[in-house]
Structure 1
Amino acid sequence: MIQLINPNDIHSAADTWNGFIYQGKVALYHVLKLINERDSVDGLHLQLDSLEDFAIIRYENNEPKPITLHQVKAVKSHYYSRYKEAFEKLEQRKDNFPCDDEAYFHLATENEETKADIEDKHAKLKIYEYDGNPYCKIDELQDKIKVQASNCLNKLGLIHLSNDNYLEILCNELESLITNNIVLIHAQNHSPNGDSINKSAYYSTISLNRFRNILITDLTSIQQDKNYFIKKLKIDLNRYYQEFCLESEDEIDDEAQIKLHQYLVYFNSLNNPQFEGFLQKIMPHRHVKFSTLQEYKDNSLLINEVKTAFLSILHGIRSPDEINKIGWTDSLSKKYFPSSIIVSNSSASKQNISIDILNTALDTLIEVPFNSDYVITEGCNVSSIIEEANKSTRINQSDIDILNNSTSSEYDKITKWKKISLIDLEQAKQKLNENNN
């Protein structure tokens, strides 16, 4: 058997997967478009971040053979010069890995050059079109995916399922195929005697018929329970992360980009109970509940909290002390953990957030994350949560008195919260980023 391409010769960026949320959504859009346009997708597979950001491949003698190559750039710039090197890279990829059809470049921003001008300068590639437009904004892509999914349902004789609620469920299931594939690649890479990232990304492809099978399955019986909403929350967190990276691209250097991607891989690798616990720890001021749609709407991730506080903290502070964990220790052995708290530093805000944290601890018995001494906020400083909360009559002091005299290990979780301080991001950066590895 002749091996057409050696995967060890291909550098996969799956360990950092630059912009993978947008890339994954673009890949899903293209897959759905193929299902709509073709009579059959038998023998077609989606390959992620190997031959290119993604590729449609077929197998020849059990080896992947590219049909189309796709490079995706989720950046804000509209200048041709910002993309010139990437255009040339895609052309080189097409030379190195000849494909049956075309090599496509996907733009998230309208370019100063026309589609025809770019293709004239780079004859070996095509600019991908979305409903006749040579680019697709990040905030418009999800709606376009839903349109393609709806068209698929119509083609498959299932148009009666095509309503907003069902399309939301359907797209979640389709997108999870892609996210789970990347998590699988990492799991294989980190397992004993596991494959390299390059080899895993090259061979861990997804049959397009798996997407089609989801489309033809009636998902109305899927129970919108805690497991469903956890899956949706992961998708939300991924989307917030992508938006944060795009909005902050001028401030995120290569080292910070790798660090943030490693965090994202960690979030996506958590099982459901672990992810639920993680959410509660970064939101100690609110009881995380999402067993119903209303609870999901009322108590889940808030985009401003995640982007303004949590992701800003992860970006602003050095890499964590341990791989696949979040937390830092300063030169005085004090421990820190990030949160999504964005309240101001006013007297009222300090008291209110301290009350919310203590009441949440009383209600949920949440464990102190990373055995923290400090919880990092966007801009609020509280030297002692318990002392600040005690200034108000809204804390049931009799409950606190009982806890003070209790020997229960469960109550110990709450008494530890009483010892915690809140510290704003700028002060945390000074303590953690200076004179630390």
Structure 2
Amino acid sequence: MSNIEETLPESAISSWGGFVYQGKVALYHCLKLLTEKSFQKNIIENFELQLDSTDDFAIYCDAKVISTHQVKAKLSQYRSAYVKAIYKAACIATDCDENTIRYFHVAKKLDNFENYTSNDGKIVEFYNYGDLKYCLLSKINELIDNQIEIFLDSNDLIKTKNLIIEKSSLLSEFITNKVILIHNLVHNGQTQDFAAYHNRISSNTLLELLRSPPLHRTDEIYQALSTKEQIATIIETEFYNDLENFNEKQIKSISNVFRFIYSLNDNSAIRMHTSLQPHRENNVINRDDIRDYLDVISAISHIPKLLGLPHYSKKINKYLPTALTIRDGKRRNTSFQEDLKKHIRDNGTLASLLYEYNNIIAYDISAETIISAKSEKITTAPSNQENRNHIVKEFDLRILSVDEAEEELNAK
């Protein structure tokens, strides 16, 4: 059936500002369904998760909606701030019947959690998170991890702390990537209503991810997924809740970079993760690193180019934003350089990355630092004109402050 013939619910997928939290709430609810294998005392073998179409998310079973879910991450603690949204939740009718349950999710404790009943008898219930009827932004990841642990236990599957974190990251990324996919379909010509309505996630797909064995790959993959997850969390809980302190260009830059990073494949995500703190041997990225990286992007007045990795360019030069901080003092600077050169020698991925982007923008640095770098993972070649663009030659790595990079990018 074509999208012209169908009457579809209106979707806001193209402007879904809080999709990270909404997606995590949807994941938590799906995990409960997969663990309990029932809903409202009815056995459920299979279901589908639909994102931002019939409602913020909806659960389909046998082509019918068994539950609709309106998700609000507002900071208000007063029920009156949600009146319009609750009324909208009561009016949801697409693919619903008399058994459909309408849920309302909030991220704050409200002054009134009574069910809402519309004039035509439709009931909207505030969703229960255990003993609470709300879930703080900072708590949703914990609830997801707990639910994954319950699922692994109840299905006699291997359970470790790292495995739970891995499953949580993979599932969250999968749902977020589904939203990115729908965005791409919209950009390629589908209407957003059509794309959001039809692109659902099967419960079997979620089960496969939960039941799959641990990733027998290097820790780089796990760390890259963790970094992407942390970027999403920082963007959702800090950036989007503080938009009044950013101008339009900064909002555009950070939003575009976020969506681009989340769409990277594993190999590109490893390069992205490695670039944030390239001198660290084990390279574990924390939330302050993410904040520093986003601060660098917001401080540069140019819109970053989204090709390879987010970067800026001037003629043949590429400038890569990072979370680097180089401490004052000759001893600290020398130690940093030695650590970085050792890591470059031992890590071919880092060597090729820094050859391509050999102008590094640091979060904090007292003066420009130039490092002559080479790698034992690649063959070196003389630095002559013939080999000037050859990846195997030795190269100088420049590390600049934000102000220095800005000055060079603005130079005529």
What TM-score results when the alignment is normalised by the length of structure 1? 0.72
Deviation at residue 144 of structure 1 after TM alignment: 1.9
Q: What SS does structure 2 have at the residue aligned with 1:139?
A: coil
Distance 1:127 1:177 in 2: 27
Residue in 1 that maps onto 2:49? 46
Instruction: Please say if 1:410 is aligned against 2:379.
Output: no
Q: 2:77 touches 2:109 (CA, 8 Å); kept in 1?
A: no
Q: What SS does structure 1 have at the residue aligned with 2:194?
A: helix
Instruction: Please say if 1:367 is aligned against 2:352.
Output: yes
Instruction: Please say if 1:95 is aligned against 2:94.
Output: no
- The number of residues matched between the two structures is 388
Say which of 302, 307, 320 aligns to 1:337: 320
Structure with more of its chain in helix, by fraction: 1
Instruction: Please say if 1:383 is aligned against 2:368.
Output: yes
Distance 1:69 1:107 in 2: 14
Say which of 158, 161, 164 aligns to 2:158: 161
Structure with more of its chain in strand, by fraction: 2
Distance 2:136 2:365 in 1: 34
Q: 2:260 touches 2:306 (CA, 8 Å); kept in 1?
A: no
Q: 2:27 touches 2:172 (CA, 8 Å); kept in 1?
A: yes
Deviation at residue 423 of structure 1 after TM alignment: 0.7
When the two chains are superposed, the root-mean-square deviation of aligned CA atoms in Å is 4.0
1:144-185 CA deviation, whole Å, 9 max, x = no partner? Answer: 223323433455xx2463453543444445434423423433
Instruction: Please say if 1:282 is aligned against 2:276.
Output: yes
Distance 1:361 1:166 in 2: 30
Distance 1:10 1:360 in 2: 51
Q: What SS does structure 2 have at the residue aligned with 1:18?
A: coil
Distance 1:416 1:44 in 2: 55
Distance 1:343 1:71 in 2: 46
Deviation at residue 66 of structure 1 after TM alignment: 3.6
Q: 5+ unaligned residues in a row in structure 2: which ranges?
A: 375-379
Residue in 1 that maps onto 2:311? 327
Deviation at residue 45 of structure 1 after TM alignment: 0.9
Q: 1:150 touches 1:159 (CA, 8 Å); kept in 2?
A: no
Say which of 78, 81, 84 aligns to 1:80: 78
Say which of 219, 243, 261 aligns to 2:255: 261
1:63-113 CA deviation, whole Å, 9 max, x = no partner? Answer: xx54322233345x24428x82x55135225425454423323222333x1
Say which of 194, 202, 209 aligns to 1:199: 194
- Cα distance, 1:301–1:198 mapped onto 2, change above 3 Å: farther
Say which of 242, 245, 256 aligns to 2:233: 242
Distance 1:41 1:169 in 2: 26
- Cα distance, 1:362–1:133 mapped onto 2, change above 3 Å: same
- Cα distance, 1:430–1:110 mapped onto 2, change above 3 Å: farther
Distance 1:145 1:262 in 2: 27
Instruction: Please say if 1:421 is aligned against 2:399.
Output: yes
Distance 2:383 2:404 in 1: 34
Deviation at residue 278 of structure 1 after TM alignment: 2.6
Distance 2:52 2:253 in 1: 18
What TM-score results when the alignment is normalised by the length of structure 2? 0.76
- Determine what percentage of the aligned residue pairs are the same residue: 22
Distance 1:56 1:404 in 2: 62
Q: 5+ unaligned residues in a row in structure 1: which ranges?
A: 288-297, 390-394, 397-401
**After superposition, where does 1:142-221 map in structure 2 within 5 Å?**
142-155=141-154, 158-159=155-156, 161-189=158-186, 195-215=190-210, 217=211, 219-220=212-213
Q: What SS does structure 2 have at the residue aligned with 1:375?
A: strand
Q: 2:48 touches 2:59 (CA, 8 Å); kept in 1?
A: yes
Residue in 2 that maps onto 1:233? 224
